[in-house]
A and B are shown apart, each in its own frame.
Chain A
Amino acid sequence: MNDLQQLQSLLRRTKLRIRLQLMLERATTAAVVALALVIVALFFYKSRSIGLDGMKLMASLSGLMILAGAVWGLLTPVKPRYVLKRLDLANQTRDALGSAFDFVQRLPKDAEPDQKPFMEAQIRQASTLLGKIDHRTASRFRMPRDVPAVGVLMAAFLFFFAMMLPAPSSHASIPPPEKPAPKMQIDEDLYNEAIDDMHAVEDLAKHLKDKAMLEFLKEYKKLLSQLKKGQLTREEFERKYQALKKKYFSGLKQQMANAEKIKAQIHEVGKQLAKNKLTKKLGEALKKHDMDAARKELARLQKMLEKGKLNKWERKKLAKALKKAAKLLKNKDTKQLEQAIKKQLEKLKKKHNAKKNQVAKQRQKMKELKKQIDKLQKQIKKTSNPKKKRQLMRRLAQKKRSMRQMKRQFRKNKRQLDQLTRRQKQLQKQKRTLQTLSRAMKEAAKKLNRKKLDAKTKAALQKLMKQLQKYQRQAQRGSNRKGAQMTLKQLKELLKRLRNRKGRQKGRLSDYLKRARRGNKGAGKGCSSCKGTGKKKGGKGPCPSCGGSGRSGGLKPGGIGSGRRTGGLSRNRPGGKGGKGGKKWGKGHNPGTIKGRATDLGGKTVDKRVKGKHGAGPSEAQVFKGSADKGFSSRSYRKVFVQYKKIWQKVLNQEEIPPGYRYLIQRYFRLIKPR
């Protein structure tokens, strides 16, 4: 028992020494990493990338790292067998201690009877050795292997600390004044271009009495004038742009998607109506989505009814067609669409309610704050104590600041609430569109089926016409909004190109001039056919080659040259210089060279036909049946342009064109606009 205690004591002492050594080793290793980290942090501190707080944090982390390493070393489990092995090796006891320890554990249960005496003898032998064992030899202190690395890093740290970049001064240096951000400015031409783009939208908005669009246009013009005066920086423009976009065009994508679905349903109705002879034209108009034509057709039908041009059977047929059309508007697709819009409405309603509550709460808070401000003001008036007065005034100023912030937030929330309300209304209108159309058609059909035609029949048809008109306005408002959004995007595109324009324009101009200078002064030779005489061979009549002038080449001194070098086909590489021209007129010309060298069509070409795709937009073509005579054109360019303007504007609105390309297309038409 005594021996066992002695052995365990020896174990404990050796373990402790081993742990301490491990602790030292691991702390040194951690110190290497920590020092490296500190050096990096010091470098950044000196170069002012991080502040003093950052430096302190890094230094603390490094210290913690070293501590963690030490703790890790101290807590590393050290097994008794390992310790005993080290003791045996160090004291050359030939595993006596390790074996004795093993036998002590095995003796009670696992030892075989014939081996027991030996085990006990071994334990006794080990006990005799215990007094001679020096535990220090088993766990000698040795220098951790990372100490040299720590030394090197320490030297590096001192170097960085003392020698390199100067330390930041204790007084905060005055930062250099910030360069003001450059303002964006557009010239008169660009301003006019932007205004022109909006004309179509403005006209339609006025015609449709679309208040929201008119408000938008007002703000848009204000933005343009600010740009013209150079009052906005890029960031400010971006902010206003985003604010406009959010205010007037949020939810537009969803709205347009719904409108497309409604249009599809009306198209189906048109197809159905087109099957009937009476309602064929009405159906065709609805298919093309031409509500004006549809209303005209309805008006014609109404007149026919009034004049009695439709018999009973035809009336019934008309009523049946309308009834079928009305039923079609209540089919599965319509219901799905209504459900989708309903879901959208529900989402919007939630947002709306939340915003409404927020606005109400804010209003309440503002009221309370107002009361507090009034109370403070009264107190300030009453009090005579200057110290108290100052305190109250400070509190008042604070309250006023809070009030201003709250007002700003309130206005923002109110705007958002208005937007949500507007979107809700639009969605509700969209949801009701097909229902009301269906109802109007059904009513009209019912009235037509009556024996006697009266004012109610007329009223029903007029109601249907009115519904169609309402739908048309709604659709037009939607597409007008889309057009306005496109125009706003274009403004951004325009400003993007503004940056590069000035630099490139000069380059383009010079390139153009270089290309225009191609063409040489010629050799000034006489015509080779008539040898400069200007007369035909045989002496009768002028020379067919030079026309009787006797000159070769062109009309200018020196004539036409061919200054183009081979390979000068790119627009940035001008042709070569021609020869120097003569001082006198040429005497004739050489019919052989006047046409110049024939084009070398050495390469084979193959004609290929590309199959194009007809876009959704309208197109117009004019077929020339005969060649035009010499003289004035029969149609003024202005009229042609106006006609084409409608078409390209329609195409731009209907087709999905990227803003960059849209810009180029509009620019092209602007350039060919008659002045």
Chain B
Amino acid sequence: MSEEAASKSGVEAEVKQFVTEIQRLREEVAKMIVGQTEIVEGVITCLLANGHALLEGVPGLGKTMLVRTLAEAVTLNFSRVQFTPDLMPADILGTNMIQEDESGQKKYEFQQGPIFCNILLADEINRATPKTQSALLEAMQEKSVTVANETFHLEPPFFVMATQNPLEMEGTYPLPEAQLDRFMFKLMVNFPSREDMHNILDRTTRSEQPQVEPVIDGPKIVKLRELVRQVPVAQQVQDYAIRVLEATHLDTAESLPVTKKYLRFGASPRGAQSMLLGAKIKALLDGRFSASCEDIRAVAPACLRHRLILNFEGEAEGVGTDDIIGEILNLVPEHKE
């Protein structure tokens, strides 16, 4: 087989394999999680894009279950941290403790915190103090932890799924915009539909509990991540993503009346990066070899909703960022001369 022919079959095969493996992952997750396909897909997208996800939803919707199931399906180390106001950074990162060795000599030894895992569930991140939040967020960005001048690298893949409870916001420390920007997606977990509720009840109130089998391992995830990065994007598709981003700003050529009316600040370039990576993964999941404008439109809400800052008028009128993003996607044309 010639080199060309080989590469031909290689790419297609890789993409086909990608699709198959992710499909299997989905199916495994679906054993435990009923419905919530968008959330599952969003979380998987973040995992594959080397990003982190922020989930917002009321308690009891299966957020923890989702992450745990995902961790089991990909045979990755899983940790859960319940954030409380008295949680300290050391509780997450770890600390130096005095240890006695066999000879009876005492020495300082670093005890790793729960952050030293592959998948971390940071429950109710907004309950912790900003100091604790920043410790986690710094680790998310740097993929390493520095304690007492010693740096410890976190083993790849490292994925954080943080949750926020939209109720009981009093006494919480909402994440600042700069910190929110580190999350690739913000996913809204909605209450399941009646049909899903039937399924949930059927599955969880019986004696037989489904078991999740591991389907992908960590190194595989890393490979899949590399594959994602190889997906090309046409110039016009990238241009579309940029124009959508620019439409969220007040002082650009693309800015729209709705932007000027309700927004204080628009999304940062990280938003465009997230959109592009998300679109690439979506294209691969569809078995295509390049991202399209449709893929950008599909991932834009999740990428941008936590990156837009409403002004007073927007807050007073109760306008949601999703509405604004919807308007922007309707008005920004896919093709512009």
Contacts and interface: CB of A to CB of B under 8 A. Distances in A.
Contacts, number: 77
B334 A94 contact: no
Interface in B293-337: 293-295, 334-335, 337
Nearest to B296: A95
Nearest to B240: A95
A119 B232 contact: yes
Contact of A99 (B12, B237, B286, B335): B237
B232 A125 contact: no
A291 B169 CA distance: 115
A463 interface: no
Nearest to A119: B232
B11 A117 contact: yes
B141 interface: no
A42 B193 CA distance: 70
Interface string A107-123: 00001101101111110
Contact of B230 (A82, A102, A118): A118
B230 A99 contact: no
Contact of B288 (A81, A112, A125): A125
A161 interface: no
Ranked nearest first, the 8 interchain pairs of A and B with the lowest CB-CB distance are: A95-B292, A99-B234, A102-B234, A122-B289, A94-B292, A121-B289, A115-B232, A85-B335
A249 interface: no
B290 A95 contact: yes
B15 interface: yes
Contacts of A124: 8
A200 interface: no
Contact of A98 (B15, B231, B236, B289): B236
Given A117-B7, A117-B10, A122 B292 contact: no
Interface in B1-35: 7-8, 10-12, 15
Nearest to B14: A117
A103 interface: yes
A550 to B, nearest CB: 102
A124 B15 CA distance: 14
Nearest to A113: B230
Interface size on A, as a range, is 20 to 34
Interface string A90-109: 00001110110011001000
Nearest to A81: B236
Contact of B335 (A82, A102, A125): A82
Nearest to A88: B292
B12 A121 contact: yes
A82 B292 contact: no
A121 B16 CA distance: 12
Interface of B: 7-8, 10-12, 15, 229-237, 286, 288-290, 292-295, 334-335, 337
Nearest to A89: B334
Contacts of A120: 7-8, 11
Contact of A118 (B236, B237, B290, B293): B290
A79 interface: yes
Nearest to A85: B335
Contacts of A102: 234-236
A95 B289 contact: no
Given A98-B236, A99-B237, A115-B230, 7 more contacts: A102-B236, A103-B232, A115-B232, A118-B11, A121-B8, A121-B11, A122-B232
A636 to B, nearest CB: 97
B123 to A, nearest CB: 38
Nearest to A82: B335
B289 A118 contact: yes
A13 B246 CA distance: 35
A99 B292 contact: yes
Contacts of B286: 94
Nearest to A125: B289
A94 B11 contact: no
A189 B145 CA distance: 123
Pick from A81, A96, A121 the residue with the most CB of B within 10 Å: A121
B221 to A, nearest CB: 18
Contacts of A79: 337
B8 to A, nearest CB: 7
Contact of A82 (B7, B232, B233, B337): B337
A95 B286 CA distance: 13
A114 B14 CA distance: 13
B292 A85 contact: no
Interface in A505-557: none
B197 to A, nearest CB: 34
Nearest to A117: B11
A482 to B, nearest CB: 73
Nearest to B230: A114
B116 to A, nearest CB: 31
Contacts of A111: 232
A98 B288 contact: no
Nearest to A92: B294
Interface string A74-92: 0000010110010011000
A117 B232 CA distance: 9
B236 A94 contact: no
Contact of B290 (A81, A82, A103, A112): A103
A26 B109 CA distance: 81
B14 to A, nearest CB: 9
Contact of B294 (A81, A94, A119): A94
Contacts of A94: 286, 288, 292, 294-295
A118 B292 CA distance: 14
Contacts of A118: 11, 230-232, 289-290
B300 to A, nearest CB: 15
Contacts of A88: 292
Nearest to A93: B292
A95 B229 CA distance: 19
A95 B11 contact: no
Nearest to B229: A114
Given A81-B236, A85-B335, A95 B293 contact: yes
Nearest to B226: A114
A205 B81 CA distance: 127
30 contacts: A79-B337, A81-B236, A82-B335, A82-B337, A85-B334, A85-B335, A94-B288, A94-B294, A94-B295, A95-B293, A96-B288, A96-B292, A98-B237, A99-B233, A99-B290, A102-B235, A102-B236, A103-B232, A103-B290, A112-B232, A115-B231, A117-B7, A117-B8, A117-B10, A117-B230, A119-B289, A120-B8, A120-B11, A121-B15, A122-B288
Contacts of B230: 114-115, 117-118
Contacts of A98: 234, 236-237
